[in-house]
Amino acid sequence: MTQPRLLAIDQGTTSTRAVIFDARGRPLAVAQEPLRQIYPADGWVEHDPEEIWQAVLKVCRAVIAQTGGADGVAAIGITNQRETSVVWERRSGTPITNAIVWQDRRGAPLCAALREAGHEGAIQNKTGLLIDSYFSATKVQWILDNVPDARRRAEKGELAFGTIDCFLLWRLTGGKVHATDATNAARTMLYDIHAGRWDSALLDLFAVPPALLPDVRDTSGDFGETESDLFGRAIPIRALVGDQQGALVGQACFTPGMVKSTYGTGCFVLVNTGTKALPSRHRLLTTIAYRLKGATTYALEGSIFNAGTVIQWLRDQAKMLGHASESERFAAELDDAGIQQKEKGGRVYFVPAFTGLGAPHWDPHARGAILGLTRDSGIGHIVRAGLEAVCYQTCDLLTALRQDGIAVPPALRVDGGMIANRWLLQFLADVTDIPVERPVYAETTVLGAAFLAGLGGGVFASLDDIKTAWQLDFRAVPRMADETRDGLLKGWHDAVRRVKN
């Protein structure tokens, strides 16, 4: 008998991927399609839902063909860019306008008005979120207020709303299932994460008719099956999960206190807080990590706006790097010259506040700076300072988490494009004073979707089974003296103080 396989779909902001895994979580085939970004106005970002759907079909068909057909595919899991919103006609499945992407800021004036009117506390208590146009609520509101006839049709029950997971589920099941999972619902700003239901007061506040909304289900469970003509056979769909939560599962962070940290364009840190939804006093987000068999596990989430963007800036704007990977050599060379001593060129700090400073500083008006240059400073010092900044910012986020009641984690499980850089991982371990763990398979988001599909499809019996499928590739152990670390962090905080508005 052939081993069951799992098909994971990762619908991201810039691309759509499908990966087939074996029953031990090892990838067998991958296909990817880029996604067009549509910028209709300043601060607006849209995607074409039809383009996303066609890409999903294409990548799924490609990986199924590469691995011997649909027969061995036990289950499908979907992970997706969160918050991005689609409204479509129930009758035809046709979107009434483009998807409004999470980055889109058109809801900002609505959000400002709500903050002004004093709704922040109540919204944070119910949803765990801070009022922001990132989340779905103002995107749906905008669509209903601006697409001709949309509001009337929504009230009559002719339209459906969903995040990308939900739209894809609708299409895959031929319109039979209108559902999302708890992690995606938690990012709409319409869902009470404690009561586990759409909140009628929030629906009123954002003028969203209940008739638009999907059923909210467990993250791993029964989401119906694909239309049989799509892939040659009806395949069960057994998981939907938001991308950051997918990564938390892909990193097997199932015990309260475990942390995953993703270093891509930005950096997202999620801490499993178990059955407790911890409110944040430091403007971090309280969110749902996953819901299994009706039991909700919560997470605290913090993000750093600029991680990989630092390397992109050094490469594309400053022309100091030909390729992102060169950053490691630059940093390591200086390292050899003696990072622990005061090397020639001095201690350079790079505060990458390109778009302001996030948690825990929260200064949207701050802008970037490179400080501490001397006649001896060279490109290497600046590049290394850029990598260090990503680590210092992680420290700041961990400090905010600690102040919100999170214990020092046993390790940081890292993923994302930047973790190819071993120097970065060592410095991260050194300045956080926490071991840093890189898994063998670094594409943890899509792996998480496969794990959850396997759990829902009976390939994995429990989370413990998934834990054993997670494999360590490289572990960086802290080896910096406390005194050195304290000195470096003091210098960083001085530098941050100088760029604050």
Query: Closest separation between CB of residue 102 and ligand ADP, Å?
Result: 12
**Is residue 418 part of the contact set for ligand ADP (CB under 6 A)?**
yes
Binding region for ligand ADP (CB under 6 A) out of 23-31, 98-106, 323-331, 431-439: 323-331
Q: Is the dihedral of CA 500, 483, 348, 350 positive or negative?
A: negative
**Is residue 355 part of the contact set for ligand ADP (CB under 6 A)?**
no
Query: Tokens 């709303």 sit at which residue?
Result: 161
Of 324, 332, 371, 489, the one binding ligand ADP (CB under 6 A) is 324
Q: Which of 189, 214, 182 lies closest to 299, judged by CA?
A: 182
Query: Closest separation between CB of residue 445 and ligand ADP, Å?
Result: 8
Query: Closest separation between CB of residue 424 and ligand ADP, Å?
Result: 6
Judged by CB, which is closer to ligand ADP: 442, or 455? 442
Judged by CB, which is closer to ligand ADP: 150, or 391? 391
Of 416, 454, 456, 457, the one binding ligand ADP (CB under 6 A) is 416
Binding mask 357-396 for ligand ADP (x = CB under 6 A): ----------------------------------------
Judged by CB, which is closer to ligand ADP: 128, or 386? 386
Of 417, 435, 478, 491, the one binding ligand ADP (CB under 6 A) is 417
Query: Closest separation between CB of residue 72 and ligand ADP, Å?
Result: 29
Q: Which of 137, 171, 165, 190 lies closest to 241, judged by CA?
A: 165
Angle at 463 between CA 459 and CA 465, to 5 degrees: 55
Cis check: omega of the bond before 214, within 30 degrees of 0: no
| Cα separation, 272 vs 290, whole angstroms | 10
Judged by CB, which is closer to ligand ADP: 224, or 308? 308
| Cα separation, 474 vs 275, whole angstroms | 30
Instruction: Give the DSSP letter of residue 354.
Output: B
Q: Which of 287, 260, 304, 297 lies closest to 443, judged by CA?
A: 260
Angle at 200 between CA 198 and CA 204, to 5 degrees: 125
By three-state DSSP, how is residue 220 classified?
A: strand
Of 93, 196, 236, 308, the one binding ligand ADP (CB under 6 A) is 308
By three-state DSSP, how is residue 4 classified?
A: coil
Binding mask 7-46 for ligand ADP (x = CB under 6 A): -------x--------------------------------
Binding region for ligand ADP (CB under 6 A) out of 180-188, 324-332, 406-414, 468-476: 324-332
Query: Closest separation between CB of residue 32 and ligand ADP, Å?
Result: 11
| Cα separation, 303 vs 306, whole angstroms | 9
Judged by CB, which is closer to ligand ADP: 312, or 377? 312
Query: Closest separation between CB of residue 60 and ligand ADP, Å?
Result: 20
Q: Which residues pair with 476 in a beta bridge?
A: 436
Q: Which of 219, 223, 275 lies closest to 249, judged by CA?
A: 219
Q: Which token pair is 376?
A: 């001896």
Binding region for ligand ADP (CB under 6 A) out of 76-84, 88-96, 130-138, 410-418: 410-418
| Cα separation, 371 vs 352, whole angstroms | 11
Binding region for ligand ADP (CB under 6 A) out of 152-160, 209-217, 307-315, 479-487: 307-315
| Cα separation, 221 vs 4, whole angstroms | 17
Q: How far is CA 451 from CA 3, 9, 462, in A?
A: 15, 12, 10
**Is residue 328 part of the contact set for ligand ADP (CB under 6 A)?**
yes
Query: Closest separation between CB of residue 314 and ligand ADP, Å?
Result: 9
What stretches of 117-250 show up as alpha helix (H) in DSSP? Answer: 120-127, 137-146, 150-155, 164-172, 182-185, 200-205, 228-231, 243-250
Of 136, 251, 327, 432, the one binding ligand ADP (CB under 6 A) is 327
Task: List the interface residues with ligand ADP, window 237-266 (CB under 6 A).
Answer: 264-265
> How many residues sit in the footprint of ligand ADP (CB under 6 A)?
15
Query: Closest separation between CB of residue 45 and ligand ADP, Å?
Result: 14
Judged by CB, which is closer to ligand ADP: 311, or 453? 311
Q: How far is CA 467 from CA 19, 20, 452, 499, in A?
A: 20, 19, 12, 43
Query: Closest separation between CB of residue 450 and ligand ADP, Å?
Result: 18
Judged by CB, which is closer to ligand ADP: 386, or 457? 386
Angle at 162 between CA 156 and CA 167, to 5 degrees: 110
Interface with ligand ADP (CB under 6 A): 14, 264-265, 308, 311-312, 324-325, 327-328, 416-418, 420-421
